[in-house]
Amino acid sequence: MSCSGGCHLMCSPVKILNMYGRKACQLVKEFASGEKGQLTPFNNDLFEQVVSECSQHHLELQSLIRKMQEEGLDVQTARNADHYGALIHLFSIVRNKRCLTAYVYNRAETVRNLLWKIGPVLPKEIEEKLNHWEEEYFKKHSAALKSYMSKALVDLTVDMVPPKDPYIQVRVLEDIREGIVLSDDKNPNFARHSMHFLKRTDAEKYISRGLMEELTG
Amino acid sequence: MASYYDIDDILVEEEIVSVIFQKAASGVGIDPSSETDFIEAGSKVELPFWLAHELQLRQAVSVNVPPCFNQKTRLEIQADCACVDLRSRCPYFYEFGCKIAPIVGDRTIGFLLLSAFKNRYKEVLTKAHTATIAVGSKFWTILTKEEINLYETAQSAMASFKKWRMGGARFQIASILGRKRKPTE
Amino acid sequence: MAGQSDHELSLFSAEELEFIAEDEIVDIVPNLKMDPLCLISGDFGPFTPQIVTQVPLWLAIALKKRGKCSICPPQWMTVEKLTQVLEVERDSQEMSEHLPFHYVEISRLLFDHARDNIPDAYMVRSLIEDIRDVRFHKVETDLEGFNGRTIAVKIKNLSAMEVNIVRPFIGRALQAFYKHDSSELIPDPERAPDRRPQVAHNAPRRQLRR
């Protein structure tokens, strides 16, 4: 049934209406192209372009509606060409909005996961990929988790893998000088290649940041 | 129902479909070569699914069956289902099919999807558990997005079992940091 | 942190299954004298040298590591028993019921920590590997038999690790089958009213039911 109706129009050229929403989709594609759980740098430029495209649609929508009003039509019920034109602009705004929010939403999820996977201190190469408000979000999320954990008296970020022995053997992969906090208040020298026997819960955060590796066997 | 924020769902809806405008529409930017911003009733227009769908709901357009679900493709799929390159026809073959079927009112699309999936998924299953497929190998390039997801699901479950069986370190660098950081000399 | 298990993929990671399996009870022969241990999961002991007692696997391994006991391998972990099981598995498309739910995890733990307590350890190990391969192959064959009308799968006597490996795949595949089932895609006009074209946006809104 859907194919009928086109036959007598065979000679008319095919029009292409595919620019609307295209940039927004590019933004979403960019997110999708990264590996799962990985971040690409926040594309501020494209993001802003989509936002201004929305404003443009809004202007055109308004002008079509104004035109209908000037012609004395009831905007609520009139179904003329201007109405359908306005609809197309409206749906384009809705579509762009969905793409923009999906981009922000899915990135936010990845940003939250960073806290669980790497901890509250992000390596520079990851931090660079975040937009400034994502950085802010990450900090606030860290603070919220920290305060919750201190009230609940439990560290939720350790023992994600069922624990075995309380102590494990590790090798330091990169010199660690700053911010060493161990539960026994000792201050060992974590020089590169040195080996240590540490409390598992102390070692976990260094391992997941790639600063130490677990030795087995 | 896919979530509003679902990335794949958004990308599916970007697929281009061809429609016939039942109503005229003004003030819209057609392709740059066009001199007018007016679409007459009866015009054949190509536009993304998300727009076509909304306009169809309001009876402003009628949607044509996309080429990836036409008779020719169907015959090809039925002839040699497991080896047909579905990805080049539509990377979101199944998801797009699910969305387009009710719009064009074609009940047979469902059967097509089902039989294609049924015939192809076995291959995905066996390959996923036994061999590692190099990205770019022939088998890999003909799979749709859903089939790749399925393959990766099976593959990673098997891989994590094998990793456990081998034993070794239980704690590892966060996957997001990758396998970088061989200490730079 | 260090949470590398991707939880969307499967309900449990292999490490988590191992953790659960560590609650299984095994026989040990202690070589120390110790009062009973009163734990949340129950009381274990008293421990007297050369007197067999029962403890959870994790405790058995902890004692074994410190040289305080030897672990008696479970009855199914013998060459004789496993050879039988392997034959049964090979003869039938059904999964046999002779192995415990956590046989993969338990055998791995015992091989890692109590190899010297398992007679013919090498043979036992390779038998278990063979059994696992045969069984897994059967599961795959079962899965290949899916058709459009499959809405659930029942495979009897699947072990914890086996089901964990195939669960993500089965879940996704069934979902896809369900989604593509054409009667779901297009409501049958005789069964459900066709709601499609009538929802023009200007139609008067129906009153919500209170």
Of chain A residues 17-56, which have a CB less than 8 A from chain C? 37
Assigned domain for A8 exists: no
A175 in the same domain as A94: no
Q: At A201, which CATH number?
A: 3.40.5.60
- Among C2, C15, C19, beta carbon nearest to A204: C2
A114 in the same domain as A36: yes
Instruction: Count the Cβ atoms, other than its own, within 10 Å of residue A8.
Output: 8
H or E element that contains C134 = helix C121-144
Q: What is the pLDDT of residue A7?
A: 42
Assigned domain for A157 exists: no
Chain C touched by B151 (CB under 8 Å): no
| Residues C57 and C24: beta-carbon distance below 8 Å | yes
Question: What distance in Å separates the CA atoms of residue B118 and residue B125, rounded to the nearest whole number?
Answer: 11
A195 in the same domain as A147: no
Instruction: Count the Cβ atoms, other than its own, within 10 Å of residue B119.
Output: 15
A171 in the same domain as A148: no
Instruction: Count the Cβ atoms, other than its own, within 10 Å of residue A64.
Output: 26
ipTM, 2 decimals?
0.87
A113 in the same domain as A21: yes
Instruction: Compute the nearest-CA separation of B20 from chain A (Å).
Output: 7
Q: What is the pLDDT of residue C194?
A: 41
Provide the residue range defining the domain that includes A72. Answer: 14-152
Out of A98-112, B10-24, B134-148, pick the least confident.
Answer: B134-148
Taking CB atoms and an 8 Å cutoff, what residues of chain B touch A164? 170
Taking CB atoms and an 8 Å cutoff, what residues of chain A touch B24? 80-81, 84
Question: What distance in Å separates the CA atoms of residue B86 and residue A46, rounded to the nearest whole number?
Answer: 31
Taking CB atoms and an 8 Å cutoff, what residues of chain A touch B55? 84, 87-88, 91
Q: Is A1's pLDDT higher than 50? A: no
Task: For chain C, list residues whose CB is within 8 angstroms of any CB belonging to chain B.
Answer: 1-2, 4-6, 9-10, 13-15, 18, 108, 112, 136, 140, 143-144, 146-148, 161, 164-169, 172-173, 176-177, 179-186, 196-197, 199-201
A103 in the same domain as A191: no
A133 in the same domain as A96: yes
Q: What is the pLDDT of residue C151?
A: 66
User: Could you report the per-residue pLDDT of B3-42, keeping only the tens digit for each?
Assistant: 899 999 999 999 999 999 999 998 887 776 677 788 889 9
- Among A85, A209, A213, beta carbon nearest to B27: A85
Taking CB atoms and an 8 Å cutoff, what residues of chain C touch B148? none
User: Could you report the per-residue pLDDT of C173-203, keeping only the tens digit for each?
Assistant: 888 888 877 565 666 555 444 434 333 344 4
- Categorize the per-residue pLDDT at A139 as very low, low, confident or very high, splitting at 50, 70 and 90: very high
**Structural domains of chain C, ranges and CATH numbers in brackets:** 20-72 (3.40.5.50), 73-182 (1.20.58.1020)
Mutate one of A22, A84, A126 to test the B interface: name it (highest B CB count within 10 A).
Answer: A84
Question: What distance in Å separates the CA atoms of residue A14 and residue C23, rounded to the nearest whole number?
Answer: 69
Q: Which residue has the tokens 């090498």?
A: C122
With an 8 Å Cβ cutoff, are C108 and B165 in contact?
Answer: yes
Kindly state the greatest CA–CA separation across chain C: 86
A117 in the same domain as A32: yes
Assigned domain for A1 exists: no
Taking CB atoms and an 8 Å cutoff, what residues of chain A touch C2? 158, 160-161, 204-205, 207-208
A177 in the same domain as A147: no
Q: Spell out a b/e string for C75-91, using b for 16 or more CB atoms within 10 Å of the CB, else e.
A: ebbbeebbeebbebbee
A22 in the same domain as A89: yes
- Categorize the per-residue pLDDT at C60 as very low, low, confident or very high, splitting at 50, 70 and 90: very high
Q: What is the mean pLDDT of residues C107-119?
A: 95
With an 8 Å Cβ cutoff, are B14 and A98 in contact?
Answer: no
Question: What distance in Å separates the CA atoms of residue B140 and residue B128, rounded to the nearest whole number?
Answer: 11
Domain with CATH 1.20.58.2050 in chain B: 1-64, 66-166
Count of structural domains within chain A: 2
Taking CB atoms and an 8 Å cutoff, what residues of chain C touch A162? 15-16, 18-19
For the domain spanning B1-64, the CATH number is 1.20.58.2050
Which CATH number does the domain B66-166 belong to among 3.40.50.80, 1.20.120.1200, 3.50.50.60, 1.20.58.2050?
1.20.58.2050
Q: Kindly list the partner chains of chain B, i.e. chains with 3 or more CB atom pairs below 8 Å.
A: A, C
- Among C1, C5, C18, beta carbon nearest to A208: C1
Taking CB atoms and an 8 Å cutoff, what residues of chain A touch B8? 32
- Inter-CA distances, C36 with C30, C32, C48, C62, Å: 12, 12, 10, 16
Question: What distance in Å separates the CA atoms of residue C50 and residue A191, rounded to the nearest whole number?
Answer: 48
Of chain A residues 115-174, which have a CB less than 8 A from chain C? 116-119, 157-158, 160-162
With an 8 Å Cβ cutoff, are A162 and C19 in contact?
Answer: yes
Rounded to two decimals, the pTM is 0.83
